[in-house]
Structure 1
Amino acid sequence: MEGTYDCILKWPFNHKITFCLLDQSGQNRHVIDSCRPDTRSNSFQRPRSEMNVAFGIPKFFSLPMVQQDNNNYVRDDTMFIKVIVDFDDLPEVILPYILNLNPGLPHHVQQYYIKQEIKRRQDAANVSASSPAVISINGCA
């Protein structure tokens, strides 16, 4: 949609977008799907009128599943969809962690926690990759 800051934004819009339908049952079975915009599409060009052509992920979550009684995604006629615009090319494996961050935290605090978690995971991967392999023959190491 047309906005106040369009004149200072970079066009066409080309950042990865992730849609997250939040599981309200506490089981963390969130529905997550990501896509990269087609920068040739009018949807991602600078708006020249009030609104560009709409964009979405057609098979993100089926309407009959949302309409089912007692589904995990609608409680008290309310569902939560979180949209993440990825300006930093975050790894896919970090998305569940991001979903569990308190959305009330200031953005810079969330970014700090995300960077710390990525570093923690990279450090853990480096430690396991550098550990010497132990080969066992007949139960003896």
Structure 2
Amino acid sequence: MAISNNLIRNAIVSTVDPTKMTATVIFLDKDNIISGPLQITGRGGKTVKDFWLPEPGDYVTCLMNPNNVTSLNQGCILGTYFNNQNPVPNGAEKGKRILDFGDGTRIEYDKKTHTLSINCVGLIKINGKEIHLND
């Protein structure tokens, strides 16, 4: 059985729909064909959820339905990837987890030094039944 060369595709996000967790993408190597709504793979499920959407212009890798070789409208977005147009965040290295929001807000954890750094350009709200600092 031959595997379609359209199974794994790189594309650029065109539009997103946060209510349906879908996005349309542009396939540059397919004469800029725009896909139908593709599901965005997430983490979590029924009760635990991790919500994230790519933004228009983000470079993404898509997994397309192998049973639909005539259309690029059935599949899902696996995630974004880094390249020259979308470089890795400053300070990225092994043992670090970085969440950079692009507006100056950044959360970084360094596993080697056990340091959590939070830089927020706006308001920080912390809510809880009890909050203990340095107990």
TM bucket, shorter chain:
under 0.3
The structure richer in helix per residue is 1
Please report the TM-score for the alignment, with normalisation by the length of structure 1. 0.23
Please report the TM-score for the alignment, with normalisation by the length of structure 2. 0.23
Larger radius of gyration: 1
